[in-house]
Amino acid sequence: MYDNPFASLAQTDEPESILRAVAARIEDVETRKVQADLAATASILAGLVLDKNLVKQILRRDIMRESAIYQDILVEGEVKGRVGEARGLVIRLLNRKLGNISPILLAKIEALSLERVESLGEDLLDFSSLAQPL
């Protein structure tokens, strides 16, 4: 029907039917890992032109979770969440210990890596004013 279903997805008035055809072709692939990678890739591309809930209905989410792409995105999200939580906690602790901290200091904290934020959290136990170096 279409030589390249991914390109066709963006060039049709019926992207849902194209995605259904892509999903059927993915099911025919024998190797589960290849299926997972194709489903994850198709999901990302389909998300550009279709509603994400429709994409989830058509493509098997269970197999996408096995994809290296999906796993990378998941790990990236987990790390980003950990960094955000750690920064939030350190900022709350600094505000509680020292009063409202300046926007300049907030910006510096927002730029810190997870390791530095965790270290700063531990260092909070050792100082009592901003005059002491962070």
pLDDT at residue number 9: 60
Assess whether 78 and 55 both reside in one domain: no
pLDDT score, position 2: 44
Residue type, 19: L
- Digit-coded pLDDT (tens) for 55-83: 888 887 777 778 888 888 889 999 999 99
Same domain, 48 and 15: yes
* Token code pair at residue 46: 């389909």
Range of the structural domain that residue 12 is part of: 5-66
12 DSSP 8-state letter: -
Structural tokens at position 109? 């904290």
Question: pTM for this structure?
Answer: 0.54
Cα angle 28, 47, 84 (rounded to 5 degrees) comes to: 120
Report the C-alpha gap between 6 and 89 in whole angstroms.
43
In a domain, 80, yes or no: yes
CA–CA separation, 114 and 23 (whole Å): 39
Q: 57 with 78, same domain? A: no
CA distance 66 to 131: 50
Q: Domains in the chain: how many in total?
A: 2
Judge whether 133 lies within some domain.
no
Maximum alpha-carbon separation in the chain = 71
What H or E segment, with its residue span, contains residue 53?
helix 52-58
Mean pLDDT of 2-19: 68
Residue 23 clears pLDDT 60, i.e. is over it = yes
Whether residue 46 contacts residue 9, with contact meaning beta carbons closer than 8 Å, is answered with yes
How far is it, in rounded angstroms, from Cα 8 to Cα 103? 49
For the stretch 85-97, pLDDT in tens is: 999 999 999 899 8
For all residues of the chain together, what is the average pLDDT?
A: 83
